[in-house]
Structures are given as structure tokens and as C-alpha cells.
């Protein structure tokens, strides 16, 4: 088993928000010299897209900002795989509730935007899947704005 803390980013289908979150936070961790502390991955609570690459709009947004989602293959988190991860970062309240239903302990479960100052009670990263490119830009912006706050929290628990 790795000495690195394992962190799983979770959304519904693992083709839009969670792979983008994984890429953003991994990049930010690398820039901060935290590569050796964490192992990042992403998954969806649903099975619809298992094995598929990232949504083209998510991949294009990532590419625009120097991130690469070309090797992403969607996977599903299940009750049988929950024990493989130390930390779970849900993109929205629905995914948080589903993770709790799967047996994820609440003290190991975070919301991506929960550390954002002034954020509403349920700080979701809205799902851009059924919208246009603007939704992916908005999601990317939210992920970037919260990546360092999330890393600060995780780093404080990894040391």
C-alpha cells in the first residue's frame, strides 16, 4: 500500500466534473511540491459511462488551460471499492448522499467547494453535462478557486 493519501473525486458519470477536478487538483498539488503526499483519481456514482473518455467539452476546457484528460477512462465507485480510498471529494450534495449510502464515513467525505468563503449551505459544482461550453468554464473556474483550499485541508491531515 502506498504511503500517499488516496483522494477520489466523485461526480455522477465521471466524464465531466470529477476528471476535471482530478486534473486541476493534481496540477495544483504538483506546483506546490505535494506530489509525494497524494494519489488522485476520479469516479462516478453511476455506471452509464464506464470505460468512456472524458466528455469532449471537459477535455477541451482542460486542454485550453494546459491540462490533459486524453488518458481518462470513466470508472464507477461502488460499495465494493469504497475501502480503496481514504478521502472522497464529492462534486455535489447528491453525490455526497450517495457516497454515504455506500458506506463512506462522513469524516472522510468532503464537498469540493465546502471551504469556499461565503459559499451557500450546499456548495455544489453544478453539472455542466446538459448545457453548453459555458458550464464547463464555470466548473473549471470553481475547481481552480477551491483547489488550494482543499489541498490545504488535506495536507494538514496527511502530515
Residue 144 known to be catalytic? no
Catalytic pick among 3, 4, 11, 68: 11
Please, are residues 61 and 129 in contact by the beta-carbon 8 Å criterion?
no
Question: Is the CB of residue 87 less than 8 Å from the CB of residue 154?
Answer: yes
Facing residues of 40 across strands?
Answer: 7
Whether 17 is catalytic is: yes
Q: Catalytic: which of 27, 55, 92, 127? A: 127
Whats the size of the chain, residue-wise? 159
Q: State the catalytic residue, choosing from 16, 17, 55, 124.
A: 17
- Angle, in degrees to the nearest 10, between helices 17-31 and 133-158: 50
Cell of 98: 450517495
Q: Which residues are catalytic?
A: 11, 17, 127
Amino acid at each position: 500500500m502506498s504511503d500517499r493519501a488516496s483522494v477520489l473525486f466523485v461526480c455522477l458519470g465521471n466524464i465531466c466534473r470529477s476528471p476535471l477536478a482530478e486534473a486541476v487538483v493534481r496540477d495544483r498539488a504538483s506546483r506546490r511540491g505535494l506530489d509525494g503526499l497524494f494519489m488522485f483519481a476520479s469516479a462516478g456514482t453511476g455506471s452509464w459511462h464506464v470505460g468512456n473518455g472524458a466528455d469532449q467539452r471537459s477535455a477541451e476546457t482542460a486542454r485550453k488551460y494546459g491540462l490533459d484528460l486524453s488518458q481518462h477512462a470513466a470508472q464507477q465507485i461502488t460499495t465494493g471499492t469504497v475501502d480503496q480510498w481514504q478521502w472522497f471529494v464529492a462534486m455535489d450534495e447528491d453525490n455526497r448522499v450517495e457516497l454515504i449510502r455506500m458506506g463512506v464515513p462522513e469524516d472522510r467525505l468532503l464537498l469540493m467547494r465546502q471551504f469556499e468563503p461565503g459559499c451557500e449551505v450546499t456548495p455544489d459544482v453544478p453539472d455542466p453535462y446538459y448545457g453548453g461550453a459555458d458550464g464547463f468554464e464555470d466548473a473549471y473556474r470553481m475547481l481552480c478557486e477551491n483547489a488550494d483550499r482543499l489541498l490545504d485541508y488535506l495536507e494538514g491531515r496527511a502530515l
